[in-house]
Structure 1
Amino acid sequence: MKGFVLVLGCLIAIQNAQGWRNFNRGRSKGGNLGLPAGDAVRGSESEKVTTEWFTQYLDHFNPNDGRTWKQRYYVNDQYTSKRRDVAFLMIGGEGEASIEWMTKGAWINYAKKFNAICFQLEHRYYGKSHPTSDLSTKNLQYLTSQQALADLAFFIDEMNKKHELSKNVKWIAFGGSYPGSLAAWARQKYPHLVYGAMSASGPLLAKVNFSGEKL
């Protein structure tokens, strides 16, 4: 699989310039990347994308707290092979997840090349993934990158079972900006679950009162 990661890395590097232009053009105030660039998707492709809901724990770090909530995710399994040994995960960030990304974008081209099953997991507290009834200060204590990373780990483990993926399945995490950080951290924190990560423009170094920098 070293060759697989090397080829994937080369493909990402080749499209980096175009992807960065799309990133800057499509980025909105909320932090989300907008919609992917590219040609219109054929109906047969989009029809095979499913919207599903995952039972997620509210607090992964308190064994006495068994509260759960429903987290939205998308699945596209039309490119996977019978081996089901490659899985791509697009990590949701500070914006609503978009089903458009499930059939368009560079990562879908990679999925077709490497026969990957594709998932996109919406970040807790964004879009339609509401862990709590309101956004009070008390409830927002569960909006942390640590909880989001644990969401990813639990999700991957359960998807392995639900979709009967190979015991040797290689999960590749994708993310840009904040989700880019999550992708890198997921690979570092859960190497037994995440085989590789594509982290685009991830702000990995924390800064106090960070207001952003113009390129």
Structure 2
Amino acid sequence: MYFLFLFAEMLLLFLTVLLVSELGAGLRRHGHHGLLLPPPNVHNYPVPPDQWFTQKLDHSQPGDLRTWQQRYFTNDTFYRPGGPVFLMIGGEGTASPVWMVTGSWIEYAQEHGALCFQLEHRFYGKSHPTEDMSVKNLRYLSSEQALADLATFSAAMAEKHALPEGTKWVAFGGSYPGSLAAWYRLKYPHMVHAAVSSSAPLVAKTNFLW
């Protein structure tokens, strides 16, 4: 009787591990630091190249004319004139172009004929606003500056791509970028029609990463 019970327990454990493994393939993947990792490029579509946008260093000081180059990606494959714009917000990690060809938001883009952008967060990946990350320069690393980056970028892309007036922008983000998506909709409601804010901690914390 004991061996039957033990066998049943082992079988249940095996099935549980198998189920979790299968479900995990469809869930968000995180690295050992808890940062969101890009999904695998299961369709092996070619990813878009790096593009660069001239961004202001300090949005809070109109007289400060210093600029830097912010990296972004574009996917206009599914865009239909009059369609929405989907903006994936980068977070505390390197932006990956794989996000531009896979993931649920790309399925939504296909369905709705959306133009897709991904903007890398300042101070992460290849987006370096300053020469170093000294305490003096890290004052430019804030959610306020990141939100202003998004607004400046959105306005410039609308002009560059000659988007019709009234084009609806939808911001996407998960975890910290999810917070940015919600705050972007809150602070710039005239620029963002909707925000998809996944697993977003919206209450301020002293250390956001823990």
Counterpart of 1:22 in structure 2 is 27
Aligned equivalent of 1:155, options 153, 156, 163? 153
RMSD over aligned Cα, in angstroms? 1.9
Counterpart of 1:66 in structure 2 is 65
CA contact (8 A) 2:41 2:101 kept: no
Q: Amino acid of the residue matched to residue 110 of structure 1? A: Y
| Change over 3 Å in CA distance of 1:116–1:137 after alignment to 2 | same
- How far, CA to CA, are the matches of 1:34 and 1:70 in structure 2? 23
Deviation at residue 117 of structure 1 after TM alignment:
0.5
Deviation at residue 82 of structure 1 after TM alignment:
2.5
| Change over 3 Å in CA distance of 1:39–1:167 after alignment to 2 | same
In the alignment, structure 1 segments of 5+ residues that lack a partner are 1-17
- How far, CA to CA, are the matches of 1:21 and 1:204 in structure 2? 25
Q: Amino acid of the residue matched to residue 91 of structure 1? A: I
- Looking at CA atoms only, which structure, 1 or 2, has the larger radius of gyration? 2
Counterpart of 1:53 in structure 2 is 52
Structure 2 residue 110 is matched with structure 1 residue 112? yes
SS of aligned partner of 1:134: coil
Structure 2 residue 80 is matched with structure 1 residue 75? no
Counterpart of 1:8 in structure 2 is none
- TM-score of the two chains, using structure 1 as the length reference: 0.82
Structure 2 residue 39 is matched with structure 1 residue 36? yes
CA contact (8 A) 1:183 1:197 kept: yes
Deviation at residue 32 of structure 1 after TM alignment:
3.0
- How far, CA to CA, are the matches of 2:78 and 2:66 in structure 1? 35
Counterpart of 1:185 in structure 2 is 183
SS of aligned partner of 1:22: coil
Tell me the matched-pair count: 188
SS of aligned partner of 1:197: strand
Aligned equivalent of 2:166, options 165, 168, 172? 168
- How far, CA to CA, are the matches of 1:69 and 1:138 in structure 2? 17
CA contact (8 A) 1:171 1:195 kept: yes
Deviation at residue 37 of structure 1 after TM alignment:
4.4
Counterpart of 1:13 in structure 2 is none
| Change over 3 Å in CA distance of 1:210–1:33 after alignment to 2 | closer
- CA deviations over 1:162-189 (Å, ceiling 9, x no partner): 0111211100000000000000000000
Counterpart of 1:101 in structure 2 is 99
